Amino acid sequence: MKKFLTNKSTFSNYMTYAGVVIAFIILTIMGEAGGLSSTMKGQLVPVCAYVVMALSLNLTVGVMGELSLGHAGFMSVGAFSGAVVASALQQAIPSDGIRLVIAMVVGAILAGLVGIVIGVPVLRLRGDYLAIVTLAFGEIIKSIVTNLYIGIDAKGLHFSFLNPLEGLEAGGRMIMNGPMGIPGNTKISTFTAGFILIIITLMIIFNLVNSRSGRAIMALRDNRIAAESVGINATKYKMMGFVTSAALAGAAGTLFGMSQNAIIASKFDFNTSILVLVFVVLGGLGRMWGSIIAAAALTILPELLREFSEYRMLIYAIVLILVMLITNNPGLKNLFGKLIPRRKGAAENE
């Protein structure tokens, strides 16, 4: 027990779980009691999705030390595949919960497969190739989704690429309609589902980071030559980290997609990738609780700033800069160190 409390990373991990659980309980109670505004209620699920996105990107950027500039592409794969699956299974599986889980699993698997396709050639290389390739990947996914038409009728699913579908039977309907994306989405994501996904994501990431493989991944980040000299297979471990990250982003995408009435491909563009990267950088590389707080705060912030009408994005930018200044302020770091003596002690023990 003493070891558990003095081990800095274990302590921090358990505090992260505890924080998420407490936030969930408080928000659920407030929601039930009517203490949440419509704006906040509407944001609960998207915030969960962005938190999972930030966590998954933190695995790539913070833990692996590789840069991914197309993480929204994986989100897009998850969002659209999940929404199509959920839509197609509407009659077969009436339960929203089960359908959401199936959609998420499909979304995660497909995003993971795309991650493998990208990772196999790129992660063999040294240098910033992953950043370049993921940047292009995000744009490619956007183009593909914009030109994809999927319809459903009594005979099953129909696919068409580039040209709109023709000859759908009466009683059928279009699910995905090219540039219109999925205009008739049914919301089935819930805050509870989002919470569970965050907890699962945290478990996967913490267990991976604290495992033998995780140490290998971090060793590769810190010094690739030294790590390879002790026999660590660089490509294998990097693939492990990257594909996990892609699959989690896919699940986050499904969660997000199923919380929206209408989704279009251009929603998941370069800006969204950078937004998630901002969450990770502001929250701290490799610091999972930082990503959670940054993602939640920075998603809600623009809505809180609506009072300032046109100036809100200006103020948003100022807040970003201030957060950067404050989190790197040595004086404040000391202050927090004094406020939380155990953490400081733990740090000294190391």
Partner 1 sequence: MKKFAKVIALLTVLMLALTCFVGCGKEEATALKIGITGPLTGGAAIYGNAVKNAAEIAVEEVNALGKIQFELKVEDDAHDAEKAVNAYNTLKDWDMQIFMGSVTSTPGTATSKEANNDGIFYLTPSASSTDVLGGVANAITGTVDIARKDNVFQMCFMDPNQGAASANYISSQKLGTKIAVIYKNDDNYSTGIYNSFKAEADKLKLDIVSTTTFTEDTKTDFSVQVADAKAKGADLVFLPMYYESAALILKEAKDTNFAPKFFGVDGMDGILSLEGFDKSLAEDVMLLTPFNADAEDATTKAFVAKYKEKFGEIPNQFAADAYDCVYAIFAALKEGDALKNEDGSYNYGVSAEDLCKMLVEAFTAEDFTYTGLTGENMTWGKDGAVTKTPKGMVIKNGVYVGM
**What token pair was written down for 224?**
């690739």
Q: Least distance from C-beta 46 to partner 1, angstroms?
A: 6
What are the DSSP calls for 150-182, one per residue? EEEETTEEEEEESSPP--PPTT-EEEEEGGG-B
- Going by C-beta distance under 8 Å and a sequence separation of 6 or more, which residues neighbour residue 178? 146, 147, 148, 149, 164
* CB-nearer residue toward partner 1: 208 or 305: 305
155 binds partner 1 (CB under 8 A): no
53 binds partner 1 (CB under 8 A): no
> Do the beta carbons of residue 251 and residue 78 sit within 8 Å?
yes
Strand ranges across the sheet with 156-161: 156-161, 148-153, 173-177
184 binds partner 1 (CB under 8 A): yes
Q: How many amino acids of this chain bind partner 1 (CB under 8 A)?
A: 58
- Number of alpha carbons in the 13 Å side-chain half-sphere of residue 49: 29
310 binds partner 1 (CB under 8 A): yes
* CB-nearer residue toward partner 1: 203 or 332: 332
Site string for partner 1, 265-304 (x = CB under 8 A): xxx---------------------------------xxxx
With 0-12 CB in 10 A as exposed, 13-18 as middle and 19+ as buried, what is 131?
middle
Q: Which of 97, 121, 179, 345 binds partner 1 (CB under 8 A)?
A: 179
User: Is the alpha carbon torsion for 89, 95, 96, 102 positive or negative?
Assistant: negative
180 binds partner 1 (CB under 8 A): yes
**Interface with partner 1 by CB under 8 A: which residues?**
37-39, 41-43, 46, 139, 143, 146-147, 151, 153, 164-168, 170-175, 177-181, 183-184, 260-267, 301-307, 309-310, 312-313, 318-319, 322, 325-326, 329, 331-332
